[in-house]
Amino acid sequence: MTDSFWYPSVEDILDIHEDIVSEYPDTSPGVQRRGDIEFALEYDREGSFGSVPETIHEKAFYLLRLLVANHPFVDGNKRTALNVVVVFYLLNGYRFEYDDEIRKILKQFGTDERAVDEDGVLEYLRAHTTEVALNEVVERWRGDLVEYGLEQLSDESSDPND
């Protein structure tokens, strides 16, 4: 199945997790099962046993669920999942403006994922997202993006043969 959604890569998720670990000194670093990250992404793209998440909100739901419940990281699974979903939404043209209710949802995914009311969470996700024009977002961040690009170039050798 081919769709038009942007999906993070495993490396993107690892980078997000690394940022969280660096931001919170009490968070232990480390990946327990990289395969669980790969599975979450594959499930979102391809589904399993004939069931495929189709809408942006269904895909966000399963990213949250699988990245929290499968506990791929030593620590920071809920924060990583939430940040991955914020980025997933944004790069697919939505802004996710969550509130304290998300903490309850994430905690329930972490303690008893089967008890989570999928329809209720999907309604929460729909109610807390708005479409954004990506070109406006890029324009607003253009300076930061250019600066980041220049930093990346200066961090790498200018000789491609090195």
Predicted confidence at residue 134, as pLDDT, reads 74
- The enclosing H or E element of 109 equals helix 101-112
pLDDT tens digits along 54-71 = 999 999 999 999 999 999
How far apart (Å, rounded) are the C-alpha atoms in residues 93 and 56? 10
pLDDT, mean over the chain: 88
Domain residue spans in the chain?
A: 10-132
Q: What superfamily does domain 10-132 belong to in CATH?
A: Fic/DOC protein, Fido domain (1.20.120.1870)
> 155 falls in which pLDDT band (50, 70, 90)?
low
The sign of the dihedral angle between the CA atoms of 114, 105, 124, 11 is negative
**For residues 107 and 78, what is the distance between their CA atoms, to the nearest angstrom?**
8
Nearest to 18 by CA among 7, 30, 9: 30
Q: Write down the pLDDT at residue 25.
A: 87
What whole-number percentage of the chain has pLDDT above 70? 91
pLDDT at site 99:
96
The pLDDT of residue 156 is 55
